Every structure is written in C-alpha cells, then in structure tokens.
Structure 1
Amino acid sequence: MRKLLIPSNKSIYEALIQLNNIEDDVSRLILFVIDEDHKVIGSLTDGDIRRVLIRNKDLNQPVEEVCNKDFIHVKEPVSFIKVSDYRKKNIKMLPILDKDGRFVRLVDVDKIEAELPIDCVIMAGGRGKRLSPLTDSVPKPMLPLAGIPIIEHNINRLITYGIKKIYISVRYLGEQIQEYFGDGSAKGISIEYIWEEKSLGTAGALSLVQQFNYEHILLMNSDLFTNADYEDLYIQLLKTKADMVVASTEYKVDVPYAVFETNGDEVKGFKEKPSYIYQSNAGIYIFKKELVAKIPKNEFYNITDLMETIVDEGKKLVFNPIVGYWIDIGKPSDYVQAQNFVKHIQ
C-alpha cells in the first residue's frame, strides 16, 4: 500500500502519474498525502484533481494545497472496525493511522465484509468415514467444490472478515492440507497447524495452542459450506455480553400424526400433524479466550462439553441463526447437494 502514499511537496502532475500507475487491486484510485515526518495530512483522488484544474489549470501546484484534509480515517489502537457502517456512507478506502498519524494499513471497504479482532481455529482432523471411498486418499476438507477444496472456501470467506491468523487442527492425511496452504502467506495471512497425535474431539486441539493474539476465538468445522455472517455473530456476542455465541440452523420436524395435549391421562386438545422448528448447532462458535483454560490438555473434549460447562456455571451462551445457506458435508448426499448448489452462486 506504500504506492498510495505521496509526499506533500509533489505536484499535481506527479500525482496524476502515480494515480495512473496504481494497479487494479484497489477499489478506488486514491493517494494519501504525507508530510516530511511521514504523517498523513490528507487524501487525494482524481476527482479532487479535476475540480482543482477546472479552477486554475496549474499542474505544478503542490498536492499539499489541494488534498482533502478532512479525510475519513481511524487511529490505532482500535479493537473493532464495523466496516458496514463505513460502507453505508459510501466510503471505499479507510486508512488506519498510528497515534502519531502515520500510515499503518488500508481497509478496502469494497473488498472485505469486516475487520474482526479474533483468532480462528478450523477443525480439520477427522477421518470422514461416511464419505468413503472419496476420503480414502484425500482428507474430507480437501474434497473439491467448484474446483477448490471445501476448506479453502471457508478460509477465503474468513479472510474477507479481516481474520489474519488461522490455526488448522489436522490429523488424518493432514500433510495434504499443510502442503496445499503452507504458512498462509500466499493468501496474505498466517496459518499454523495443530497436529493431533490422537483424536481430540471438536475442541480438544484448542488446548495445544500456545498463545492466542485476541480476546475472542472463532472455532468452526472445516466441512461446512456456508455464507454465515461472522461479524453478526461477533457483534451479538459483544452486545449480549455473552461468553459464547453459537451459529444455528433451523431443523424442522414434521409429525405425521395428531399430537395430544394432555394433563395426566386426560386429552385436553390436540394438533393435527404439527411441525416443530428447532435451532440446531451449526458448527461455528465465537467465545472468550479465557474459556480455553477449561479444556483439558491434550485430551478428547467436544465443544458441546464446553457449552454444557458454560450453562452449568451460569455463564451466558447465546445462539445466532444463519440467514444464508449452510450445508454440513458429512455424507455423500450432502456433498452432492453442495456440488449442485455451488453452481448457482458462482
């Protein structure tokens, strides 16, 4: 992003050349003007330049005199940026500055969904027996959907939510996953691998992470195909002051008979072939980092065990329904469904 910085003594003409050389990997052509101390003093777009040239047609005028000094920015330290708020204001590029006003990084509002201050752990160590023989030589998370592995769909979506550090728990054929993603640098993130010497359930691998960077952790299964809104989960966790939020999906039960409403053995009424809708665990969780201390070290432990502990101790557990799509690829019919579905969202 250093190519977007221009010294304040440069001319409008030089700024036009620099703008013209910006590649198409940003959503808006913009420069940030810096003074001799490298502090950002304003922003400059091609529109700003056009308005100046209409007035005086002086290409030699320094950019310091024509830049927008009332530009929108965020200063560190910042724990959470609600990107959607800036998107509503039609702001496309949001610079993050340090406390002295120097450029730190740029949030391309059009290219990301959010900037979440959380670490992520993806559980990818399972055998996937129900998908055999497809998983006899390929780990389930690496089965392709629209030409890329299931787990990569999840990682790509996590990246759009500003998540920079991902831990992947691996065991069965985990070498294939590690070889494919490496350290994550090709995607601009950091990936570390948690190797399970034995099966540790759906949460036991968390105990093997030496240190998490943030106060909250996102844990998810690797075999999900979903457009779950991770920002909405995170915001609900904060607003409700919960210890854990669980993404949920609706599960409908149709009873093919009349159901009695009773008092002892007396029928007080009945419902003819009723349907009941329940909120079911969708395999995505955000919770406080401090809860990891409750997970036994290197022992089999499921996330549902942790959920029960939260409830038993009087802590707060909330759910957040997934509004979009969600497919748990656990058996061949699920995989076929996901393969057919992905064709319609390309």
Structure 2
Amino acid sequence: MQTRFTWVSPEMNRAEVLDIMKARGFKQIPILGPNMELLGLHTIDDLLGTKPRENAALILCGGFGTRLHPITATIPKPMILVAGRPILERIVLHLVGSGFRKIFLATHYLSEIIEAHFEDGKKFGCSIEYIKETVPMGTGGALGLLPPSITSPLLVMNGDLVTNFDAGRMIDHHTASGNMVTVGYSTHIHEVPFGVLDLQGDRVYGWQEKPRVSFPVSAGVYVVDPAVPPRLRPLGPTPITWVVDNCLSQGEPVGVFPIGDDWVDVGRHEELKKARGDA
C-alpha cells in the first residue's frame, strides 16, 4: 500500500486521463472523490475501448482558418489549444477511446505542424495516415482521395470540433438505418431581439416578444457508406452538400443522428472563447 500515489478526479475527461497514463506508463489509475474516497478505477482497456472497431475515421484538417486570424497565421486551426491540448488531439483521443484504430487526416495548410505532432499515431493508440491536399478539397473532395481499401462505414468529421459525442453509437445507428449518408446534427436556437408582429394589412393580430426559433444544423460530423468515396475520386474540390444531393437524386436514404449540446464548432473567435470557457 502507498500513501502517496497518482489519482484523478471524476471531472477529469478521457483525454486528460489518457495523457497522464501515457506519460507515467500506467495501466490503471484510481478515481477519488472530494473526501479522498475511492469512486472507481480507470483502466487502459476501458479508456481505449476494449473492442476495436473495423471502421476508419477521416478528420478534415486542411482549411486556412481565416476567420481565426491572427491566431491561425502560424498554426493550423485544428492545432489551436483548448484547455492546454490541441483540438485535433482531443478528437483523436476521443475516437481512439471509442474503438477507432485507423484514422486519416486530410491536411493542407501548415500540414507539417500536424504531421510532426501526430506522426504515425502510435503514441495515441492508433494508426494515422495523411491525405495531403494540393488545394483545399472540401469534405467530398477529401473523401475522393481516400484509398480504395475502405470497406466499412466511415466516420467523417471536421478537425475544429470540441465535442464528446458518442461516435460508436452513431456508426451503429447508421448501419442499422441502412443510410447512404448519416448527418450528425445539433440544434441552433436564435432569439429575435425585438417584438415580432403578426400583421394582416394595417392591423395587428398578434405579438410575440423576442421569440426564440430553433433549427437543426449540420454539426460537421457524418457517416458515409463505403460506396460513396469512389464516386468522388474524379471530382476535385467538392462540398458535403453535393454528396448529400447526389445521394438524394438517386433515391438513396440520407438520415440524421443527434450530436447533442456538447458540441462547439471552433470557427470564429466567439466559438473559441466558448470552447475555452471564456465566453
């Protein structure tokens, strides 16, 4: 028995716990409460996922991040730090913890910084291959650059997302639904900052004070059938909207999966402040 030992709090997330275990070479680490009572035990198998998935993941990292200048003048957007860790590292560790062992990173702008950090992925518990774009290719274009070895539903996501969505459950939902594409969505709520009038001619028939309206919005997370990437190989830069429209035009099912509220798209300074807890 030891009176001095390494432990973690229950609030510490998976990526932080994995970082400690990797740095100290631990296979397990206890979880203690505020009164130093034992609450549980993290094991390396639990954190990395006891059952590796056959599915691969494609993370899109090639954008210029112009809306986050001057921060992105010297660093690619996915490598911006949130709580001391690059956004992209958080995504990779989250996917590894969900059972993904094969990850493709589609890179372009300042790609050498990303490659130097992740290398072949072994230190993060996975295998990483790089898809190097000569020009930004968009989601569809990056899919078209994948090797022909993809034979299972593929998870695709933007590299600037701070989220802990259930990636494994999304894959399982996609497979069970028989979709060609499944779009992860969140809910965006907009508040009109004025009183909205219901008018008929010059008369008022109703009044809503600062109404709130909600919209389902794409969360930048998708699952695609392995039949999709071969269609995109000759197209060049292609947005995800083209991919969805192409499926719909052929009568192929496109479904949705709720990502939930634990999701921030770090595309602007306001979102970055929110992700960092400064908003």
What's the TM-score, normalizing by structure 1? 0.63
RMSD of Structure 2 on Structure 1 (CA): 2.9
Match of 2:227, SS state, is helix
1:188, distance to aligned residue in structure 2 (A): 2.4
2:152 corresponds to 1:198: no
Counterpart of 2:195, as a letter, is Y
1:112, distance to aligned residue in structure 2 (A): 2.8
Counterpart of 2:126, as a letter, is I
2:195 corresponds to 1:257: yes
How many percent identity over aligned positions? 27
Which of 147, 162, 172 lines up with 2:109 in the alignment?
172
Partner residue in 2 for 1:25: 27
Query: Of the two structures, which has the highest relative contact order with CA contacts closer than 8 Å and spacing of 6 or more?
Result: 2
After TM superposition, list the pairs within 5 Å mapping 1:85-234 onto structure 2: 108-109=45-46, 112=49, 115-234=52-171
Which of 282, 303, 312 lines up with 2:219 in the alignment?
282
How many residues get paired?
Answer: 242
Distance 1:217 1:271, change over 3 A: farther
Contact 1:221/1:283, CA 8 A, preserved across alignment: yes
Match of 2:230, SS state, is helix
Moved over 4 A (4+): 265-271
Deviates more, 1:222-231 or 1:312-321: 312-321
Contact 1:248/1:280, CA 8 A, preserved across alignment: yes
Structure 1: where are the runs of 5+ without partners? 1-22, 28-91, 94-106
Distance in 2, Cα, partners of 1:329 & 1:110? 25
Partner residue in 2 for 1:35: none
Which of 283, 289, 307 lines up with 2:244 in the alignment?
307
Which of 272, 285, 305 lines up with 2:208 in the alignment?
272
1:218, distance to aligned residue in structure 2 (A): 0.6
The structure whose Rg is larger is 1
Distance in 2, Cα, partners of 1:110 & 1:131? 32
Contact 2:197/2:204, CA 8 A, preserved across alignment: no
Structure 2: where are the runs of 5+ without partners? 1-24, 30-41
Distance in 2, Cα, partners of 1:198 & 1:24? 42
Match of 2:73, SS state, is coil
Contact 2:160/2:267, CA 8 A, preserved across alignment: yes
Distance in 2, Cα, partners of 1:315 & 1:207? 19
1:125, distance to aligned residue in structure 2 (A): 0.6
